[in-house]
């Protein structure tokens, strides 16, 4: 394990390539993210617009963003909301309080207009800096034998399974 550590090189500073707009200005959503009455829009910086060519053919995309409004330090273990007496490792959770505050969401594309991508619900704060967009490719990313991990083991698993969509807003 020590070998790995010695190989670490300096990492560049990543740069926002756009901004995510959501109805969540100040407080945590804590609500289902699929909401047809709300607007969720990813504004890619206009100079990157050619990079969207062909993206509209995908139904889903990955959105990577900087969790920029985090008010608390990263924790190695977290107590997920709606659970009692359960602590799990931060890497076994989608908690935003992570060593590297990079968020990841899978969203459905509604439509693309210029350098703006209108998407299904995205549970991040308005103004969240965009880091990357990648196509969600069925062949690579749809794991039909995936499980729920510890989420499936707790008493109120169904409740949490719904609520977990809001975990990124556990500020």
Site string for a copy of itself, 24-63 (x = CB under 8 A): -------------------xxxx-x-xxxxxx-xxxx-x-
Answer for which of 19, 38, 79, 118 binds a copy of itself (CB under 8 A) is 19
Residues of span 107-146 touching a copy of itself by CB under 8 A: 114-116, 127, 129, 131-146
From the CB of 23, what's the least distance to a copy of itself, in Å?
15
What is the longest distance spanned by two Cα atoms in the chain? 52
| 148 binds a copy of itself per the rule CB under 8 A | yes
3-state secondary structure of 80: coil
Answer for which of 15, 26, 71, 85 binds a copy of itself (CB under 8 A) is 15
From the CB of 27, what's the least distance to a copy of itself, in Å?
18
Measured on CA atoms in the order 103, 108, 110, 114, is the torsion positive or negative? positive
Nearer to a copy of itself, 35 or 106 (CB): 106
Q: Are strands 77-78 and 88-89 parallel, antiparallel or unpaired?
A: antiparallel
């Amino acid at each position: 394990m020590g070998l790995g550590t010695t190989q670490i090189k300096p990492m560049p500073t990543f740069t926002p390539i756009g901004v995510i707009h959501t109805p969540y200005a100040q407080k945590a959503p804590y609500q289902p993210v699929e909401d047809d009455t709300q607007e969720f829009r990813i504004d890619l910086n206009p100079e990157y617009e050619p990079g969207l060519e062909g993206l509209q053919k995908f139904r889903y995309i990955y959105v990577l963003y900087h969790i920029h409004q985090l008010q608390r330090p990263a924790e190695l273990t977290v107590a997920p909301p709606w659970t009692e007496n359960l602590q799990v490792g931060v890497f076994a959770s989608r908690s935003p309080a992570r060593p590297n505050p990079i968020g990841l969401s899978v969203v459905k594309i509604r439509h693309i207009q210029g350098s703006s991508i209108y998407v299904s619900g995205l549970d991040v704060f308005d103004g969240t800096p965009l880091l990357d967009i990648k196509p969600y490719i069925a062949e690579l990313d749809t794991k039909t034998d995936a499980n729920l991990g510890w989420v499936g083991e707790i008493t109120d698993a169904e409740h949490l399974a719904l609520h977990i969509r809001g975990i990124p807003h556990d500020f």
